[in-house]
Structure 1
Amino acid sequence: MFDKLEDLLIRYEEIIQELNDPGVINDQNKYRKLMKEQSDLSAIVDKYKEYKATKEAIDDSLKMLEEEKDEEMRELAKEELNDCKQRLIEIENDLKILLLPKDPNDEKNVIVEIRGGAGGDEAALFAAELFRMYSKYAESQRWKIDMINLNENGLGGFKEVVFMINGKGVYSRMKYESGVHRVQRIPVTESGGRIHTSTTTVAIMPEAEEVEVELDLNDCKFDVFRASGNGGQCVNTTDSAVRLTHIPTGIVISCQDEKSQLKNRDKALKVLRAKLYELELEKAHSAEAEARRSQVGTGDRSEKIRTYNFPQGRVTDHRIKLTLHRLDDILNGDLDEVIDSLTAADQAAKLSKMNESQ
């Protein structure tokens, strides 16, 4: 591990030198590439420098214990030594996590699909609440939301909502949200006051670049229609909405959020690329079934991942057996504690698997 860290430190220092080269500064493509590489390496290099400094502090404390006669100074050296040894263990663990293979999709934008499942209108109402939750979370992260398609049920609920989240590292945070979200509460429409259980499905798909997905437009059928629902005069009175059918897979995508038919067409193609990319990822995951078992679930739409229990004010994530009695905060977009816990559990599982193979 430390040979690799030394190599990364050398490479980091080389990048710093290259970035000061006028020839590189004038080559914008090379400059951007080096800046990204520097950004990717900075966290691990900083942590490795901290490791080396802590090792030096341990050596200094040991040297002091050998040479120092004053008992009070020796006690201080012992205390410093113990603190540094404990810190060194923590830094080594942090370095192992930083050296774990990164998900190549982590820095990508995502396309999110939320659909009401079992529970009819109540499931659609909860789908709207999940959309609000993710919108609030995106706002807290300074990410941008771009609507693609919305199918309302007339009661303020969403039968389906599709949107894009743009920002730095969106997939790395949002990828654990894929799956079935279950809600337990007394529906507004329930006169008897009984608690109902409904489900809503969330799919998180990394945005796919054109080079990552081979897409033949001859396999695509485009239909245009008049948009429905909220949207103003232009949206509702022109044939601006687009329905895209991918003939080989049977995937159908509707997009009606933009006034321009061309923009809706482009958005529909983005969603299709993401869906085709997700299909390729699923094939790869199936081929690496053993590796998948070592991870926290990040993609199976049929997996029940979380329960939102309103009478008890709790949220339970079933994958890591995490229960928080902070339902209102979480539905208001305060998702960091949940996502941080899922990330930590995923890293711990990968570390455990890595240690087993060594």
Structure 2
Amino acid sequence: MRVGRYVVRNIQVRNKGSFFPQVRRFLSCDIPLTEGQQKLLIDLGDRNVSPSCDHKTFVKITKIQNACRNLKLAKEEIDVYKQLLREGGDLGDGRNEGDHGDEDMKELSCNLASAQTILTQEILDFYKTHVNVDHHLDVHEATLELRNRSTTAFPSQILPGVGGQEAKLFCRELLGMYENYCRVRGYECEVKCRGGEDTKGSGKGIVAHVRGENVYEDFIQEIGIHRVQRIPVNCNKMQTSTSIVLVFNKKKMTDRIEKKINISKCDLILETKRSGGAGGQSVNKNETCVKVIHKPTNVCVEVQKTSSQIQNKSIAIEMLKNKLYSLYYDKEKEQMMKKRKDQMQSGDRSEKIRTYNFTHNTVTDHIANVQYSDIDQFFKGDKLVCLINTRKVLFYHRIIDETLTDILSRTT
């Protein structure tokens, strides 16, 4: 065993504990790689990057491959160590050696966890830059909106679905749950509109803006249909109703529009003419009227407010920007609403992500396949933190699978 011990001591953790500080600030929760993902990644370390990849992609994939090799080495070290322990099990009582063995195993496990965490971050970085550049993983702002389904949906929403007044009441209860969740997580939650104080409402939605680190990736886990089952106070029979939770990143949409209306001179056609007037002695002999045409969209603006062509040109360009903003805003809104319809599905009770059963005092999440007891405690936010963290692991596993498929397609 002493020979084994000597070998084991040479399988120590490299840079013990040094990996975590540089990674923790990027990941809001631990994302352990599945066995299937680890096998694919170990295989990726031995593949060749396709010659058709550009230099930037080549460098990123090579960096991921280096992290894959570190993962493979960390797993091999643990396998070798376990084999040495098995071989040395018949030599003496090994009590002191066993104490050292526990310490060694902790260090090797720490090394493996560090390798996985670094590799996960490299994969997520590749996802952000190559797979889905329009991601929302680094967004620190979200808008929650709870609104009557018959009205136009916008920002991020919780909408009454099937169930009438009971669904509207449940929307407000969901808002209270999310306010508690924000309090537990340290997020800033500002309610903009409560959609009417009575159960009948006023057709307006409940709107709340939430700000905090990685807040958007938390609330997209809540997108879907929430079903409530309980006996209303004015009825002796259990009723089932639904509310729909939707999420929208208004700030990112605004940023995209701002980039689009960054007008270039080559995109503009400027025309001048004499301003209209009463004629006679008041006739305008100078071409002070300015017409600006935006070639990509064919939007035009004509201004003759002042007697200065320069001032009219400046006013025209500002008016053009406002017109373009409205145009792009409407287009973004149409795309958002199209995605929103996919999120909303039909609003039918059978298409739910979570069920709140007040009769049995349980909350069942159908995505994570977990159930919590004590609904009142769940609505206080602490248990919702645990559930959302569980959902985020599943969410990131899907992203990692998608990214691995993309990376493997770029290798041979």
Which TM-score applies when normalising by structure 1?
0.55
How much has 1:164 moved relative to structure 2?
1.0
Q: Distance in 2 between matches of 1:144 and 1:274?
A: 29
Matched residue SS, 1:208? helix
Change (3 A) 1:282 1:339: farther
How much has 1:94 moved relative to structure 2?
2.9
Match of 1:174 in 2: 219
Do residues 310 (structure 1) and 358 (structure 2) align?
yes
Matched residue SS, 2:104? helix
Q: Tell whether the 8 Å contact from 2:193 to 2:206 is kept in structure 1 after alignment.
A: yes
Match of 1:292 in 2: none
Q: Distance in 2 between matches of 1:275 and 1:186?
A: 43
Do residues 88 (structure 1) and 111 (structure 2) align?
yes
Q: Which runs of 5+ in 2 are unaligned?
A: 1-14, 31-66, 86-91, 129-134, 147-158, 262-324, 346-350
Q: 1:196 aligns with which of 239, 252, 275?
A: 239
Do residues 350 (structure 1) and 390 (structure 2) align?
no
How much has 1:274 moved relative to structure 2?
11
Residue deviations 1:255-277 (CA, integer Å, cap 9, x gap) = xxxxxxxxxxxxxx9xx969937
Q: In structure 1, what residue type is equivalent to 2:139?
A: E
Do residues 145 (structure 1) and 189 (structure 2) align?
yes
Q: Tell whether the 8 Å contact from 2:142 to 2:209 is kept in structure 1 after alignment.
A: yes
Residue deviations 1:224-249 (CA, integer Å, cap 9, x gap) = xxxxxxxxxxxxxxxxxxxxxxxxxx
Q: Distance in 1 between matches of 2:25 and 2:106?
A: 30
Which TM-score applies when normalising by structure 2?
0.49
Q: In structure 1, what residue type is equivalent to 2:178?
A: Y
Identity among equivalent pairs (%)? 25
Q: In structure 2, what residue type is equivalent to 1:182?
A: R
Q: Distance in 1 between matches of 2:255 and 2:389?
A: 32
Spell out the pairing of 1:266-305 with structure 2 (5 A cutoff): 276=332, 279=335, 300-302=343-345, 304-305=352-353
Do residues 106 (structure 1) and 149 (structure 2) align?
no
Change (3 A) 1:274 1:180: farther
Q: Distance in 1 between matches of 2:333 and 2:140?
A: 13
Q: Which runs of 4+ in 1 moved over 4 A?
A: 37-44, 69-73, 156-159, 272-275, 280-283, 352-358
Change (3 A) 1:80 1:333: closer
Matched residue SS, 2:189? strand
Match of 1:161 in 2: 206
How much has 1:157 moved relative to structure 2?
6.3
Spell out the pairing of 1:1-358 with structure 2 (5 A cutoff): 40=26, 73-101=96-124, 103-114=135-146, 115-152=159-196, 154-155=198-199, 160-190=205-235, 193-209=236-252, 210-213=254-257, 276=332, 279=335, 300-302=343-345, 304-334=352-382, 335-354=384-403, 358=408
Q: Number of residues paired by the alignment?
A: 248
Q: Specify which structure has the bigger relative contact order, considering alpha-carbon pairs within 8 angstroms and separated by 6 or more residues.
A: 2
Q: Distance in 1 between matches of 2:335 and 2:358?
A: 35
CA RMSD of aligned residues (A): 4.7
Matched residue SS, 2:363? strand
Q: Distance in 1 between matches of 2:251 and 2:215?
A: 13
Q: Tell whether the 8 Å contact from 2:190 to 2:210 is kept in structure 1 after alignment.
A: yes
How much has 1:307 moved relative to structure 2?
0.9
Q: Distance in 1 between matches of 2:331 and 2:378?
A: 28
Q: Distance in 2 between matches of 1:348 and 1:312?
A: 32
Q: Distance in 1 between matches of 2:183 and 2:98?
A: 50
Change (3 A) 1:169 1:332: same
Q: Tell whether the 8 Å contact from 1:145 to 1:164 is kept in structure 2 after alignment.
A: yes
Residue deviations 1:42-95 (CA, integer Å, cap 9, x gap) = 999xxx9xx99x97xx79x98x99xxx996554444333333333433333333
Change (3 A) 1:184 1:107: same
Change (3 A) 1:97 1:39: closer
Q: Distance in 2 between matches of 1:185 and 1:168?
A: 35
Change (3 A) 1:323 1:100: farther
Name the one with the larger strand percent. 1
Change (3 A) 1:105 1:206: farther
Q: Distance in 2 between matches of 1:143 and 1:156?
A: 30
Q: Distance in 2 between matches of 1:199 and 1:314?
A: 16
Q: Tell whether the 8 Å contact from 2:160 to 2:243 is kept in structure 1 after alignment.
A: yes
Q: In structure 1, what residue type is equivalent to 2:238?
A: I
Q: Tell whether the 8 Å contact from 2:352 to 2:366 is kept in structure 1 after alignment.
A: yes
